[in-house]
Amino acid sequence: MEEKKNPVTEHGLLLEIPEEFANRKNDNGEILLSDEESYNIVVDYLERVAKALISLSALLEASSGQKPTPEELLEKLNIDPIKQADTYWLLEAMLFNKDTQLLTEFISLFNSFSEKKIGTAEFISTSSGLVYRTFNKALYSGKFAQHENDYPDKEILNNDWLGFAIMRPSKQGYITEEEKEAYRVQMWSKVLELYRMGDLAADVFDIVIHKWIQKARYPDEMIYISADEILQSRGIKDMHGKTDGFSYREDQRQEVRKFIDVLSHYWITIKEVKKPHIKNIRGIEAPALVVTAAAGQVTINETIEADAWRIRPGDFFAKELLTNGPRQTLLLSQKALNYDPDKYQQEKRLARYFAGIWRIDEETTRKGIRIELLLSEIDESMNMKRPGRTKDRIEKALDRLEKDGIIRSWDYKIPKGYEITDGERGWARKWLEWKIIVNEPEAITEHYKQLREIKKTVQKKLKKPAGKGKK
């Protein structure tokens, strides 16, 4: 009987590919993984091997001077050679072949990835998906269209599809005209509330997404989140002046309750209407936020004032974040959440906009962003009667972001022919054509650089899933 060769001994460390990724390949046969997916595959592997080594050490200590054989040790470790092939063959190589080089390679990989821990206390992870970012902008701008006999909506689109964020009741099925009119009034009252406090709603949504990314393992998984957790994440002080306590006032919790309610009434509708070659138009819709349970204090009216929820992002966002496709996340500065929108609305929106750009292509902010585009992205209107006010406010916001470390530095890039002289009339139109160069913090640069390096490392060490041979 031919002896089975150890692939680890022959080829070095190998990583087991989760089966859901096995068929996701490009023309060169490489597995298509996002940066975060690559990172998570390695972390899972390192944790498995580390636990196995700890168990192995315990078995050797418990042997009381006896010397168990490698076969006995592998059997007692109870590691499946098929489902956990990468771990099994590494230990087999160590035990049978005494391959110290493999152990050295594993320790090097372990140390490398320990240093490349994703995220810090200064940032939260949230979605970088286009639908999410477009919806988030709709939230903080609060500008929804009003159609006769219909619910409030906001257009969201890209080059391939057209979609809408629609504020509508959660009730499904047949609705009478009287009910619809009553619901329409309710929905518009929520939109008006959003117009006043849309930036905070966007903050709450980002925090829910971040907490869900930390805890959820699959797209349909629900998590529990409390109003106090959300208030802590926003850096709000409780009754004792602490930002990490659980003594928040009822009015503070009520504000969170209001935003969760508003978000749970949003539905995202996507229509394939921008591809002329598609005759049969298909669409899909799903809620922005799914809430299946709420807990809180029972009032004298026997209603529940919710301060905790069983919750998850809607299908559009959940599948962007935990899916067989590339995972779409970005780092958003924690300080952006801490800004009071009444005082620092422009700072908050600029921080969110830059975070999205850096995740997609950090070179964009280094090459420069036109002032007119920048104002549009943060929903800021140019005051043409007093343009100096708009210019001063944007410059003040950028200076604040630099001071707080959200950006490393910023400067103007003036196109040729658009220079402005002192006292020049109509200078505002020229200023709108100027560009702003923004440099991201070193932590952001290093973070995304490390993710790209991790992705290359994973591609080199990937092997086919167990049981997936050539056909």
**Tens of pLDDT, residues 225-283:** 999 999 999 989 888 887 776 789 999 999 999 899 888 888 888 776 555 555 555 67
Please determine, for residue 288, whether its predicted confidence score (pLDDT) is greater than 50.
yes
CA separation for the pair 390, 67 (Å, rounded)? 78
Give the pLDDT of residue 112: 52
Report whether 439 contacts 366 (CB < 8 A).
yes
122-170 per-position pLDDT tens digit: 888 888 887 888 888 888 887 777 665 578 887 776 666 677 888 777 6
Report whether 83 contacts 466 (CB < 8 A).
yes
Report whether 35 contacts 455 (CB < 8 A).
yes
Of 108-117, 360-369, 444-453, where does mean pLDDT reach its minimum?
108-117
**Torsion angle in degrees (nearest 10) through CA of 283, 201, 376, 195:** 100
Entry pTM: 0.72
Largest CA distance in the chain: 92
Confidence of residue 454 (pLDDT cuts 50, 70, 90): low
188-220 per-position pLDDT tens digit: 887 777 777 889 999 999 999 999 988 887 788
For the record, the structure tokens of 237 come out as 């002080």
137 CB burial (10 A radius; 0-12, 13-18, 19+): buried
Report whether 267 contacts 285 (CB < 8 A).
yes
Question: Which of 383, 345, 311 has the alpha carbon at shortest distance from 195?
Answer: 345
Written as one string, the DSSP assignment of 192-205 is HHHHHHHHHHHHHH
Give the pLDDT of residue 447: 79
Alpha-carbon Rg for the chain in angstroms: 27
φ, ψ (nearest 5 deg) of residue 120: -140, 180
393-437 per-position pLDDT tens digit: 999 999 999 999 999 999 999 999 999 988 888 999 999 999 999
317-355 per-position pLDDT tens digit: 887 776 544 457 888 999 999 999 999 999 999 999 999
CA distances to 353, 380, 433 from 115, in Å: 28, 40, 42
Confidence of residue 30 (pLDDT cuts 50, 70, 90): low
Strand ordering across the sheet containing 304-313: 223-226, 304-313, 289-298
CB atoms within 10 A of CB 226: 19
First to last CA, the chain: 24
Q: What value does the mean pLDDT take over residues 48-67?
A: 70
